Structure 1
């Protein structure tokens, strides 16, 4: 289980990634999500891990719903579900890679954007718990 400080810092990253799983076109969200992630203190490999292992397993089903959530997940619900999943032993979690096409597509789009923003120095690393 991660400590409370790390969970609070991850909160903004979780919420930002969840925008990619709304019942809307994710393309317009990429720029905003990339800026938020670039401003986080996490290296690219950790951001990828957060997407695939923490956020994706919780919200992937929204994309299959006939009338999925389109206006944003409840942030407290989202974070509580992710924290609860992380509290379980790894062997009790369903594999995160199941149905990961959305995560793979999103990461291919986001990774170079995050890297460019960080290289350009256009973001300031910050605590993302807001």
Structure 2
């Protein structure tokens, strides 16, 4: 079982990162919001990338492969439940599969990560 404190710490990060999986083009204000959430968290930028890869990506990546995926935003209650359910049932083989799939589909977010890191570093100053 996932500890409630873990979920409480991760929830804002999961919600912010979910924007990367919307079927829409993110704007500067989206990146500023995500960077703000990261800066307010207890995680480093590199830890956030790992959270994205192993916690958010496995649940939301299919949306980017849909012809008409979610574009208005994911229901937060559903999102948190979907990620926590996934984390409670995954096993070590899942991490290998995620790593492989991330290599295959990670390019879809590459520009977003570069832009986010730039804004994050600017806001961190």
> How would you bin the TM-score normalised by the shorter chain?
0.7 to 0.9
Q: Structure 2 regions of 5+ residues with no counterpart?
A: none
**Corresponding position of 2:105:** 99
Query: Unaligned 5+ residue runs, structure 1?
Result: 121-130
- Where in structure 1 do 4 or more consecutive aligned residues deviate above 3 Å? none
CA displacement, residues 66-85 of structure 1 (integer Å, 9 cap, x when unaligned): 22111110111111111122
Once the two structures are TM-superposed, the CA of residue 114 in structure 1 deviates from its matched residue by 1.6
State TM-score, norm by structure 1: 0.79
C-alpha RMSD over aligned residues: 1.8
Matched residue, 1:82: 83
1:32-89 residue CA offsets vs partner (Å, 9 max, x unmatched): 2112222211111211111111112211111121221111101111111111222222
Higher RCO structure, 1 or 2 (CA under 8 Å, sep 6+): 1
Cα shift at 1:2: 4.3
Counterpart in 2 of 1:9?
Answer: 9
**Count of equivalent residues:** 119
Q: TM-score scaled to structure 2, two decimals?
A: 0.82
Q: Which has the higher helix share?
A: 2
